């Protein structure tokens, strides 16, 4: 999902970079305030770990192989802000050392995988692990969240490609989201297996003090939630909406249309009246909904198979 240079136009790249810088800034600030100094080296080591783990290949059918992405794993083990820092560090090194992911698309990549993948995935994990208790709940939540984070990041990526006029939305969304709904299954499976293995050998790494952030922090929720919502509003919703001027209207309502938004939002699709477009969108959303339910059930079954009944959960991990 690393977007190379040349796929994003300047408006999209700059907007995404601004979102990514803000997100990373929030994460760094929160880490500075709440991360105990003895955990600072862990950020660097965790980044190196994610990088090394991405090089370990898991065999998939037919001689192909996949690898871990690690945003949700990092978020579960270290907390959402640390995950944003860790994933950003990995992306910066991959960009500057290996030319993997373009330097002009670095902001978009950090926003997609770090902010949406890490924080969005963590939010899903947080909600689900509240609903289902114990280690079992933790495993179900992590598997489901890993899938969700992969798919969410790919939808954002498709939105950026489409709003740069590189690929048409009706092509980009099914292709990207479809592929990543499959890739996400692998990601969820690996995340779950790794978490179960950690819980078996060093359960204290999943303990409450492993989550460096205070339980309730409305500031962070507002900041991250606002960023993700803004990103989706800028990149995805003008394309997904059936009324292409939906964002314009909101902008008008909020009274900031004249200032910045108008030039930032490109005309979503000049050739908008593609027959069957609504059907593609409808079909994709339907497939998405069915897929989500199926994956949740799969995560449930997998956790049933892997976690012994009544296993003590990581106490208090939200």
Partner 1 sequence: MRHDFLDRYSRLDSPIHRASAAVKLVVALALVVAVVLLPASRPMFLVAVAVVLVAVAVLSRVPWRFLVVRVLLLEPFVLGVAMLALFQSGGWRMFLFLVGKCTVCLMVMVLLSNTTPFSDLLRVLKRWRMPALLVTTLSLMYRYVFVLVDEAQRMGRARTSRTFTPRRSRAWRTIATVVSQLFIRSSERAERIYAAMCARGWR
- Site residues for partner 1, 139-198, by CB under 8 A, read 161, 166-168, 171-172, 175, 189-190, 193-198
Single out the residue of 20, 72, 75, 85 in contact with partner 1 (rule: CB under 8 A): 85
As measured in angstroms, the least distance from the Cβ of 121 to partner 1 is 17
Backbone angles phi, psi at 12, to 5 degrees: -60, -45
Distance of CA 259 to the CA centre of its chain: 30
Residue 228 interacts with partner 1 (CB under 8 A): yes or no: no
Residue 279 interacts with partner 1 (CB under 8 A): yes or no: no
How many CA atoms lie less than 13 Å away from 197 in the CB half-sphere?
Answer: 7
Query: Is residue 191 helix, strand or coil?
Result: helix
Pick the stretch among 94-102, 142-150, 235-243, 309-317 that binds partner 1 (CB under 8 A). Answer: 94-102
Q: Give the dihedral sign, CA 254/260/263/268.
A: negative
Residue 160 neighbours by CB under 8 Å, 6+ apart = 3, 8, 12, 16, 108, 112, 235
Please work out the total of residues on this chain that contact partner 1, with binding judged by CB under 8 A. Answer: 71
Of residues 233-262, which lie at the interface with partner 1 (CB under 8 A)?
Answer: none
Listed in order, strand segments (DSSP E) in the chain are 58-59, 65-66
Single out the residue of 19, 26, 71, 77 in contact with partner 1 (rule: CB under 8 A): 77
Q: Which is nearer to partner 1, 74 or 116 (CB)?
A: 74
Residue 2 interacts with partner 1 (CB under 8 A): yes or no: yes
Q: Which is nearer to partner 1, 57 or 127 (CB)?
A: 57
As measured in angstroms, the least distance from the Cβ of 53 to partner 1 is 5
Classify burial at 67, counting beta carbons within 10 Å of its beta carbon; exposed 0-12, middle 13-18, buried 19 or more. Answer: middle
Q: How far is CA 1 from CA 34, 42, 143, in A?
A: 31, 26, 19
Q: Which is nearer to partner 1, 38 or 216 (CB)?
A: 38
Pick the stretch among 96-104, 108-116, 127-135, 211-219 that binds partner 1 (CB under 8 A). Answer: 96-104
Q: Which is nearer to partner 1, 251 or 307 (CB)?
A: 307
How far is the C-alpha of 66 from the C-alpha of 57, rounded, in Å? 6
Residue 103 interacts with partner 1 (CB under 8 A): yes or no: yes
How far is the C-alpha of 122 from the C-alpha of 81, rounded, in Å? 10
As measured in angstroms, the least distance from the Cβ of 124 to partner 1 is 21
Of residues 10-49, which lie at the interface with partner 1 (CB under 8 A)?
Answer: 10, 13, 24-25, 28, 31-32, 37-49
């Amino acid at each position: 999902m690393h977007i190379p240079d040349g796929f994003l136009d300047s408006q999209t790249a700059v907007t995404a970079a601004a979102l990514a810088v803000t997100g990373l800034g929030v994460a760094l600030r929160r880490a500075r305030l709440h991360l105990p100094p003895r955990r600072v080296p862990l950020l660097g080591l965790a980044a190196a770990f994610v990088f090394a783990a991405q090089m370990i290949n898991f065999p998939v059918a037919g001689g192909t192989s996949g690898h871990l992405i690690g945003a949700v794993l990092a978020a579960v083990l270290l907390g959402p802000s640390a995950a944003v820092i860790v994933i950003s560090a990995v992306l910066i090194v991959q960009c500057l050392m290996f030319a993997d992911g373009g330097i002009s698309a670095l902001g978009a990549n950090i926003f997609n995988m770090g902010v949406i993948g890490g924080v969005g995935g963590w939010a899903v994990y947080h909600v689900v692990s509240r609903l289902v208790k114990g280690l079992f709940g933790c495993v179900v939540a992590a598997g489901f969240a890993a899938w969700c984070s992969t798919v969410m990041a790919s939808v954002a990526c498709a939105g950026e490609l489409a709003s740069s006029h590189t690929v048409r939305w009706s092509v980009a969304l099914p292709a990207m989201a479809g592929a990543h709904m499959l890739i996400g299954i692998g990601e969820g499976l690996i995340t779950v297996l790794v978490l179960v293995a950690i819980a078996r050998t060093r359960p204290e790494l999943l303990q409450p003090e492993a989550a460096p952030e205070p339980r309730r922090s409305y500031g962070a929720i507002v900041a991250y939630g606002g960023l993700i919502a803004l990103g989706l509003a800028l990149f995805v919703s003008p394309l997904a909406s059936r009324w292409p001027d939906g964002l314009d209207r909101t902008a008008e309502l909020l009274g900031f249309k004249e200032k910045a938004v108008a030039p930032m939002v490109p005309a979503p699709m000049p050739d908008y009246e593609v027959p069957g477009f609504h059907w593609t969108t409808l079909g994709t959303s339907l497939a998405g909904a069915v897929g989500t339910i199926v994956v949740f059930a799969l995560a449930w079954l997998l956790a049933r198979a892997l976690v012994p009944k009544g296993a003590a959960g990581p106490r208090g991990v939200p």
